[in-house]
Every structure is written in structure tokens, then in C-alpha cells.
Structure 1
């Protein structure tokens, strides 16, 4: 409700804001032109300058809403159910809420995932979300993918039901069904996240949903330091500078095993890392 009210109050006007209206029109046309496609290396959509105010922070939301009928039509052509289509588009509200928690302001922060959702190449299927477009995995891809083969990039949306084996199995099976008619041959799933950090095994029981999910994948990429990731995704907090401030760690809740693990590891001078994991469709 709060994000809806702020959005309606920030509706752009072609007469009063001609420059922003031009940006909105270009964004709308770009989304339509890229429907069902993703060009490798597409950048994130950065927020507009602060001096564009609330209208600027909501401008891309209006562009995404304007293409909803076209995305829904595309979803129907690739065989998504009505429920799967709306589940996918619900990412807009989720990202608005996350942006508000992270920045304290209404509107969108930088967004990388929403342009994929609203061009149809990113979709949610039950507990997990995927990107259909072939993924450049990295140096190890030479050993994993042949010409004409691709991997679906996997995401774990925040919230929702637990990350159980049954829910994940259902999502992976459905993803294989959705991409079956397309030209690329999907032979595996890739997942780039701090949830691939093997250090989690030092803190979480082997029976936990996170560890069970992690064990689906084989790791092959280099580790990338990502202390920001668990702070943003678990605690919805950001920080300035290269090091997590001790004062921020003191403010974080310690209600769950995962929350305690994140904080104690950082307090002890450790770092969290993102890594890319992979598993083949045959191994699923």
C-alpha cells in the first residue's frame, strides 16, 4: 500500500517533465524491443539523478507497468501458467519494498533483475526464479558447455516458502519443461551467490535447507569477496567503505543460526564470498 501510494503521487507528466517523459518513452520502447531476448552484458538500470526527485525514482516503475500486457502475452506464448506469470511480475513489488528498506526512500534503486523480468527472459517458477537466456559461466565453461548448449541462471527469491528439497525439485523440473521448446539446449543450472560459500558448512547443520541446496551444485568459479551480500539479503543493511563497520555488526539481530553465523564470522575477521555453482540437468 505504501509503495502504491508513493507511485501514484509520482506519476510523470509529459507537459511538466518533458525530459523524464522522453526517458520513460525510450525505456518502454527498449523493453518492447528486447521482449524474449537478452543481450550478453546488458548493464543494470541505474537510478536517475537525485535532482529528478520522486518522479525520477519511480520512472522505471511506470515503464515496467506499461509493458505488463506485452509480457503477459509473451508468457502465454512460452507456456507459463497464469499463476506463474503473475508470480514472475510480482518481483516489481518485492524490489520496491527491498529498495525502501535499503535506502529509506520510496522508488527504485539500481535494478538488474527487473528489466529481465519485464522482457520475459526472467521468470519465477514456484520457489525459484530463472533466466532463460544462455549464460556466460566463465573459464570452466569450456569443460561444461558445448556450442549450442546453455545453462539457466538460478535465483532464490527472498521470502516465500522454505527452501525445501521438494519445492526446489518442483521448480527445477518445471524450468526444464518451460525451456524445452526453445532453440538452445539447456544442459544445466548455474547459481552465483554467497549461498555457495563453503564456509557456511562451518556454522550450519548439514541437514539445513541452505546446505542441502548448496550440495546440489559443484563449485568451479573463483571466490569473490562479498561481505555486502549477506548483510543486504539477510539484514537489509548497507554500509560505506571497504570494511563492515563494527558498529553496524552490533546493531544486527541475532535471532537465527544464520544471522549469528554471518555476524560472528565477520567479527572474527573473516569474509563471505560469492561463487558460481553448477549442476547438470542429468544430475538433477
Structure 2
């Protein structure tokens, strides 16, 4: 397969990859222990092993350049071009890329004094994103490889129930924060808050613990970034849910932490909640209280939104 021919559809990315300098690609001779530590699902393991790139092949060249792209921007908020979907290379190509990046991410974490348990909890999102892919589409693959670039480059960290990525405030959120009297504005350092799937209930105590960890972790390991605000953009912040869920629901408790701002799209709500069953809104399952709320609102002609919110650091 002529990999470079595939990349001509992405000229900016191809130019970046061809110019990226850095380490040679090294994959473990026996990758199984590391893949399991990265929580790669057992049902995907055999297919991942069977699609390992061959040294000297076009896929090896591309995987090596992808790893170099990650390493060359390690720790930087100014990331490289996103990894592009390349279905011709199979559903597991980027699994090998992230496997090749692991030693470099771990080395960066060690330089910062980050505990190994935090490193591995963060990198374990690889397997979780594979589980999300199967939930969404009913077959193996890796969901949103571009998202995992944040983990591999030392920008995002898993701290208990939640994930946090180093970021800066957008113009609109920064102005809202400033107007609220916070010592921050557009371009100020911030943390993005994310709620991973497959980690159990969004219990208030678990969230309290994650926020407490974040408030300790980032000043310790990134002391030059004076974070004052954390932000979140999610369908979980759509305040219309308050009309359907009981006041003591975990979702509403999470919402109440934030000052809510503008709406956007739908935050991919149906994909997150229903997975591969999201295709026909008229036939959505109603197995849980949340599923019933979402489906009933849509059946009544309503629309769901994602919403931005912020809270003090």
C-alpha cells in the first residue's frame, strides 16, 4: 500500500510528518503485557497483534512519523496537526502509534515527578477508547485517535473519576470569567474537565476527590501555569435535564458545580448514552431514567444541547 498517496488528501499533515524529526519507532517484542496494562480489551487483542506494522513498510514509516509528531510537541499546548482517519490502514493502526509513544510519554512524566500510577491511569484511556468504539459501532477499532494525542503529549491527566487537560481560556469563556470578577481572561491558563465513559457513576464524592487531586497535582507539576479556572463543555451540563431527573441525581449535582454559559450542538449526547443504538431517535431504548428522559424530550419535539461551564480552580 502506498501510504504517502493516502496522505496527499491531507497536505498540511503530510508536510508536518515529513519534517518531523525524532526517535526511531520501537515496538515491544512482546507487546501483550503492555497492551493489557493499557487496558486494550481482550476481544481486540488478537486483531491488534495481527496488524502490527512491518519494519520498512509504509505503515511503519507513518507510525514512526506519528510518534515523532507526538514527541516533538511533548508538553506543549500548541499541538501538531490532528491524526487523520485512515480506514485503509485498518481499525488498529493508531493503537500501534500510541504503543510506540508510551516510553516517551513515561519519560516526560518522570522528568516532572509524576507518579507512575497517574501515568498508567492516564494512558489506560487507550483501551477505554477502544471500548467506546465498540459501544458506538458494534465492532473493534479505536475511537477518536486525535483525542489520545493529548494523553501521549503530556497535556491531559486522569485523576480519579475525572480527566483534566492543560488549556487556555477561549475569548468568550475568558470574557465571562473576567466579568464574574475572576483574575483571568481570554488566553489565561485553565484546565479542561472531562468525564470518561466506563468509570462508574459520576458520584459527587468521587468528583470531589478528583477536583481535590487536580488542585494539588497541577501546581506541583506545572508551577509556571497559574490556573484560576476550570472549564467543561458537555451534554451533561444541559440544564434541561433538571426537568426530568430527580434533584439528587449525580448529573445535576455535577451541573451545580459550574457557572453555565452558552450552548453548542448536542455534545454527541446520543452517541455517549446509546452507542450503536443512537441511529433512530424514534426508537431509542428507555432502559434507564436517563435514557427515558432523553428519549421523551426528543419525542416531545425538544432539542438537547451541549453546554459550556466554568468553576474556580
Please state which band the TM-score falls in when normalised by the shorter chain: 0.7 to 0.9
Aligned to 2:170: 137
Match of 2:291 among 255, 259, 262: 259
Aligned to 1:107: 141
Q: Tell whether 2:67 aligns with 1:34.
A: no
Q: What SS does the corresponding residue of 2:168 show, helix, strand or coil?
A: coil
Q: Give 1:1-284 correspondences, 5 Å limit.
A: 1-15=42-56, 18-39=57-78, 44-48=82-86, 50-52=87-89, 54=90, 57-132=91-166, 134-144=167-177, 145-146=184-185, 149-181=188-220, 182=222, 183-220=224-261, 222-226=262-266, 229-237=268-276, 245-246=280-281, 249-250=282-283, 252-281=284-313
Q: Structure 2 vs 1, CA of residues 204 and 61 (structure 1 numbering), >3 Å: closer, same or farther?
A: same
Return the alpha-carbon distance in structure 2 between the equivalents of residues 140 and 37 of structure 1: 21
Q: What SS does the corresponding residue of 1:112 show, helix, strand or coil?
A: helix
Return the alpha-carbon distance in structure 2 between the equivalents of residues 152 and 66 of structure 1: 27
Is contact 2:71–2:101 with CA below 8 Å preserved after alignment? yes
Q: Structure 2 vs 1, CA of residues 172 and 109 (structure 1 numbering), >3 Å: closer, same or farther?
A: closer
Aligned to 2:36: none
Moved over 4 A (4+): none
* 1:99-135 C-alpha deviation (Å, 9 max, x unpaired): 1232334222433320001111111000100102x23
CA shift for structure 1 position 276? 0.7
Return the alpha-carbon distance in structure 1 between the equivalents of residues 247 and 144 of structure 2: 35
Is contact 2:128–2:198 with CA below 8 Å preserved after alignment? no
How many residue pairs match? The answer is 264
Unaligned segments of structure 1, at least 5 residues: none
**TM-score scaled to structure 2, two decimals?**
0.78
Q: Structure 2 vs 1, CA of residues 278 and 43 (structure 1 numbering), >3 Å: closer, same or farther?
A: farther
The RMSD of aligned alpha carbons is 2.1
**TM-score scaled to structure 1, two decimals?**
0.86
Return the alpha-carbon distance in structure 2 between the equivalents of residues 166 and 274 of structure 1: 24
Is contact 2:265–2:305 with CA below 8 Å preserved after alignment? yes
Return the alpha-carbon distance in structure 1 between the equivalents of residues 136 and 301 of structure 2: 24
**Which structure would you say has the larger RCO, counting Cα contacts within 8 Å and 6 or more residues apart?**
1
Q: Structure 2 vs 1, CA of residues 210 and 12 (structure 1 numbering), >3 Å: closer, same or farther?
A: same
Unaligned segments of structure 2, at least 5 residues: 1-41, 178-183
Q: Structure 2 vs 1, CA of residues 77 and 167 (structure 1 numbering), >3 Å: closer, same or farther?
A: farther
Return the alpha-carbon distance in structure 2 between the equivalents of residues 201 and 219 of structure 1: 13
Aligned to 2:4: none
